[in-house]
Amino acid sequence: MAAPTRLPVLFLTDLVVLPGMVVPIELDDAARAAVDAAGSSAGGRLLIAPRLEDRYASYGVVASIVQQGRLATGEPAAVIRAEHRARIGSGVSGPGSALWVEAEEVQHAEPDETVKALAAEYKALVVSTLQRRDAWQVIDTVNRVNDTSALADLAGYAPYLDDAKKRQLLETPDVVQRLTLLIGWTKDHIAEVEVNEKIADDVREGMEKSQREFLLKQQLAAIRKELGEDAPEGAEDYRSRVEQADLPDEVRKAALREVGKLERGSDQSPEAGWIRTWLDTVLELPWNKRTRDATDIAAARAVLDADHHGLEDVKDRIVEYLAVRARRAERGLEIVGGRGSGAVLALVGPPGVGKTSLGESVARALGRTFVRVALGGVRDEAEIRGHRRTYVGALPGRIVRAISEAGSMNPVVLLDEIDKVGSDYRGDPAAALLEVLDPAQNHTFRDHYLEVDLDLSDVLFLATANVVESVPQALLDRMEVVALDGYTEDDKIAIARDFLLPRQLERAALTADEVRLTDEALRMMAADYTREPGVRQLERLIAKALRKATTRLVGLPAPTGDSRPDRVVIDLANLRDYLGRPRFTSEAHERTSVPGVATGLAVTGLGGDVLFIEANAVEGKGGLTLTGQLGDVMKESAQIALSYVRAHAVALGITRPEILDSNIHIHVPAGAVPKDGPSAGVTMVTALTSMALGRPVRSDVGMTGEVTLNGRVLPIGGVKQKLLAAQRAGLTTVFVPQRNEPDLDDVPAEVLAAIDVRPVSDVADLLANAIEGELTGTEPVRHSAA
C-alpha cells in the first residue's frame, strides 16, 4: 500500500465507478462542494465511492476532474476520469464544506500464469458477447488492453451487470477473485442470451410459417377462382375460429383436421354440412371454462335451508362436498378435473318431496350453473352417447348438449327420473350411463358424435328416482344413494306455511293481509284431504282454497252468503266450504272390525302406504286362492303363511284346525293395483290366524315383515316410509322385524313419539299382541334359528 492521501470524497447513489471509466456526474450541493475542494486543495483529484444503505463503502476510486460544464438540460455537471482503486480510511478535516478522508492506493502484484489464463478466458467471453452486438470498435479496444486488473475493471461499462455486482467488483481488490466472478457472470449472461435468441428464432419461424401458409392459401383461393371452384363458404372462418378458440390440444388437432377436409372438399359434397355441424358443436362447448365454487359454507347451507325444509341428509352431503373442495383450494391442492374428483348423488324418494327442485337449490348454493336432463321414457342409447356422424341428422348425446347449455365444465346436472329409463332394440341407455356416472372413468368420456375425450369429472351429477329397484344394480353402484322418504305431518305444515302458501299467494295476486290460512286448517288438509308422502297435492289444495278466496274478494257471493269481505280467514270451521268434504278418513277400525283382516304396511313408487289383507274360508276340498294382482313373491308369502298357521294351529289356540283345510281365499285390495314383495308375510299370518280363531285384529295395529316357515320374522326395507304411512293412517302400534331396529334411527322423533314401534323376531309374539284376546294354545310357539 502507498502512503495515505487526503482527498475530498463524493458518495454516488445511482452510479458505480470502476478504475478506467470516464463518466459525467451531475453537480448537486454535495458534488459541487467535493469538486470545488478537489480543484482548490487536492490538485484536481477526489475520491468517488458508492453510497451504501447499511455502512460506508470500504473502497472507492481516485478520480481526476477532466472538464466542468452543463448538461443538455442546463444542469451543472463535471466529467471525471477514474484512475485507480483506493481503500477508504478514516475521515479527516479539510477546507471547504466537503467531506475529507484518507485514501490508500491499492497496489496490484505482477500477474502470474493463473491470472493470465483467467484474463484470456474472460477476454474471449467479452469478445463473444460483443460480437453478438456487432460492436467491432469496442472489440478492438478490449483486445488492446493488456493489464489484467484494467481488463477486469472494464466490466464497469457492462450493461448486463447491475450496480450490486459492480460494487462487489469495486470492493474486490484481488484480480483473481474479480476475474473468477466476471467469468461466471458473463457465462450466465451468454446462456440467457442464447435462450432468448432461440425463443426469438422460434417465434420468427412460426411467424414465417404463418405468413407462408397465408400466401399459399391466397394462391389456392386464386386458383380455385380461376377454375370456377370457390372454396366452401366459411372454411377460412372456421380455421380462424378454431385457432382462436381455447381448446385442449387433442381437440384442436381434431378440429383442424376437419377444417382441412372442409377446405379441400367441394361445396356440393354432403360431408361439408356434417363437418360444419360438428365444428359448430365443438366450438360451442366450454372446454376450459369453469365457474368458481362458493367458499362460504355457512352461506351455502343457508341457501339450502331457505329453499327446502328438512332433507338434512342431502344438505349435509352437499355441504360436505363443498367443504372438502374449499379445504383443498385453501391448501393449494388440485381441485379441478381428474380421476375420481367428481360426485354422483342419487336422490331416491316418492313424488312431491322436492327431488327435482333440490337440484336448482344445490346449484345456487355452490355458485354453479344448473341444467336438467329428463330421462323419463328414454330408450335409445344414442340419446346418452350421441349418434355416429355417418348417420343423417346425427347429434351429440344429451350429456354433451347439457354441458354446452350450461356454458361451463363444472355445472350441476340433474338426471331426472333415472329409474324410468327403458331399453329396446336401439340399446340400453342405462348401460351408456355407466361411464357418465363413474367418477373413475368420466374424465375421459367419449361421445360417439364428438369422438374426442370430454372431461366430466368436475360435474356434480344429481340423479332422481322414485324406486331404486328399477335402477340397474351396476348403475346404482356408481351413485351415492340419499333417501328422501317423505315428510311427517309437522313437516308438511311447516313447508306449507313457509314455502307453499307464500308462493300460491303470489300466483293468486293475494297478500297475507287479504287471506289467512290457519295452521289448524293446514293440518286438517294434510291429514284428511291428502295421503301422500310429498306436498304436491297439498299445494294444489292450497291453490284451490286461495282461488275460492279470491272469488269472495272480487265480490262474488260467499258460500255462507256474506257480503264482499276485506279479509278472508280459512280455518277448521269453514275449510269444507273451500275444499269440499275430506277425501280420506281413518278406515282401519272399520276394515279390521271383522275377523280375518289385518293391516299391513307397504312401499310403492308413491311412498309408504297401508295394506289391508283379508282372509276367508269356504267349504271345499282345500286349496289356496289369491286375488288382488299379487306378484310371485307375494304369492309365495301367502303359501308360507298358510303352512305356518296349519303347522302351529294347536299352539296358536285354534280350536277348529279343520277350517284351515277348507278352501282359503286371500284377497289384497285394491284389486286394480299390482302388488309384490315379501314384507306382507307377517300380515298374512295374522289375517289367517284371526280368521281361524274368529277374533278380529286390533284396529290400531299395523305390521310389516317377511316370515319363514318356522315363524322367524326377517328384515325388510322402507321402514321409515312405512312408519310415515302408519302415522298418516292413524295407527298407534306397529310391529317391525327385530333386525330392522337400527333403521329406527332414521325415523323422525315425532313419528316415534306418536307410534309405539315394537320390534319382534318371532311371529308368535306379534300374534299374541295383535289379535284381540289371548292365545290359548296348548304349547308355546317357538322355534330354532331358521
Tell me the pLDDT tens digit for each residue of 151-160: 888 888 888 8
548 & 453 share domain: no
Q: How many domains does the chain have?
A: 5
User: Per mean pLDDT, which range of 626-635, 648-657, 732-741 is the poorest?
Assistant: 648-657
Has residue 272 got a pLDDT over 80?
Answer: no
Has residue 236 got a pLDDT over 60?
Answer: no
Query: In terms of residues, how long is the chain?
Result: 786
Residue 358 CA neighbour count, 13 Å, CB half: 31
d(CA 593, CA 687): 12
Residues at the annotated binding site for ATP?
349-356
d(CA 765, CA 742): 20
The residue from 579, 606, 625 where one domain ends is 579
Q: In terms of residue numbers, what domain contains 69?
A: 5-105
At residue 785, the pLDDT reads 34
Judge whether 388 and 434 are in contact, CB under 8 Å: no
254 & 345 share domain: no
46 & 78 share domain: yes
Per-residue pLDDT of 485-537, as tens digits, reads 777 777 788 888 888 888 888 888 888 888 888 888 888 888 778 877 778 88
Burial of 277-290, coded b for 16+ CB within 10 Å and e otherwise, reads bbbebbbebbbeee
556 & 647 share domain: no
Arithmetic mean of pLDDT, 575-584: 81
Per-residue pLDDT of 389-405, as tens digits, reads 777 778 888 888 888 88
553 & 572 share domain: yes
**What CATH number corresponds to the domain at position 696?**
3.30.230.10
Has residue 782 got a pLDDT over 80?
Answer: no
Residue 512 sits at the vertex; the CA angle it makes with 510 and 517, to the nearest 5 degrees, is 100
- The answer to whether position 186 is within a domain reads no
Active site residues: 679, 722
Judge whether 496 and 522 are in contact, CB under 8 Å: yes
Has residue 228 got a pLDDT over 70?
Answer: no
593 & 474 share domain: no
Query: What's the Cα-to-Cα distance from 424 to each of 377, 381, 393, 421, 500, rounded to whole Å?
Result: 11, 9, 21, 11, 40
564 & 627 share domain: no
493 & 479 share domain: no
Per-residue pLDDT of 593-633, as tens digits, reads 788 888 888 887 667 788 888 888 888 777 888 888 888 88
478 & 494 share domain: no
Could you tell me the pLDDT band of residue 234, with boundaries at 50, 70 and 90?
A: low
575 & 596 share domain: no
Task: Tell which wins on pLDDT, 169 or 96.
Answer: 169
Residue 756: how many CB atoms within 10 A of its CB? Answer: 13
Per-residue pLDDT of 323-341, as tens digits, reads 887 777 777 665 554 554 5
Could you tell me the pLDDT band of residue 735, with boundaries at 50, 70 and 90?
A: very high
Residue listed under C-alpha cell 379445504: 327
Q: How far is CA 393 from the centre of its chain?
A: 33
The pairing of beta strand 515-517 with beta strand 5-12 = unpaired
Arithmetic mean of pLDDT, 11-37: 86
407 & 387 share domain: yes
- Give, for 727, the enclosing helix (H) or strand (E): helix 719-729
**What ranges in 437-535 are assigned the alpha helix state H?**
473-477, 489-495, 501-507, 519-524
Nearest to 766 by CA among 732, 738, 731, 728: 738
Evaluate if pTM is beyond 0.85.
Answer: no
280 & 341 share domain: no
